[in-house]
């Protein structure tokens, strides 16, 4: 490794340490979306298959979200936020559709 690159690396490590100690602020931050999809689903008291059906997604997609292999984006992320904060609104929309489609599995109300 060249001396110049090594000096940059050492400076970077020192800067990281100073940030961790609170001596300086980072140049940028990355905020991880804390949506806990499994908690939302359990609040609805639904299985993965039932909740996936409620949202109109595949069970595999829901499993990937819950296990952190993927994260919901765009409209799916917004739908999950609505489902978390306004479950009655979701049920008001979905229950009539379930009746119209003759869905037998009636999810329990959260």
pLDDT on residue 33: 55
φ/ψ of 17, rounded to 5, equals -60, -40
Are 4 and 20 contained in the same domain? yes
CB atoms within 10 A of CB 62: 23
Q: Where are the alpha helices (DSSP H) in the chain?
A: 3-20, 37-44, 48-55, 59-66, 74-85, 87-101
- Residue 47 gets the label, from left (phi > 0), alpha (psi -120 to 50) or beta, of beta
pLDDT, tens digit, 9 for 90 and up, residues 80-98? 999 999 999 999 988 877 7
Contact between 97 and 35 (Cβ < 8 Å): no
- Domain annotation covers residue 61: yes
What mean pLDDT do residues 44-73 have? 93
Q: How far is CA 46 from the centre of its chain?
A: 17
If asked whether residues 96 and 44 sit together in one domain, one would say yes
Q: Per-residue pLDDT tens for 21-57?
A: 999 999 887 665 557 899 999 999 999 999 999 899 9
As for how many domains the chain has, the answer is 2
Q: Name the pTM for this structure.
A: 0.60
Domain that holds residue 55: 37-101
For the chain, give the percent of residues with pLDDT over 70. Answer: 85
- Structure confidence at residue 82 (pLDDT): 93
Same domain, 49 and 6: no
Query: Does residue 10 belong to any structural domain of this protein?
Result: yes
């Amino acid at each position: 490794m060249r001396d110049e690159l090594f000096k940059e690396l050492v400076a970077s490590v020192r800067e990281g340490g100073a940030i961790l100690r609170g001596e300086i602020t980072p140049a940028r931050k990355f905020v991880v979306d804390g949506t806990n999809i499994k908690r939302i689903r359990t609040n609805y008291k639904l299985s993965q298959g039932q909740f996936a059906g409620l949202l109109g997604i595949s069970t595999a997609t829901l499993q990937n979200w819950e296990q952190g292999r993927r994260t919901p984006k765009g409209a799916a992320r917004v739908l999950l936020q609505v489902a978390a904060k306004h479950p009655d609104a979701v049920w008001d929309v979905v229950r009539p559709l379930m009746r119209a489609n003759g869905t037998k599995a009636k999810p329990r109300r959260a």
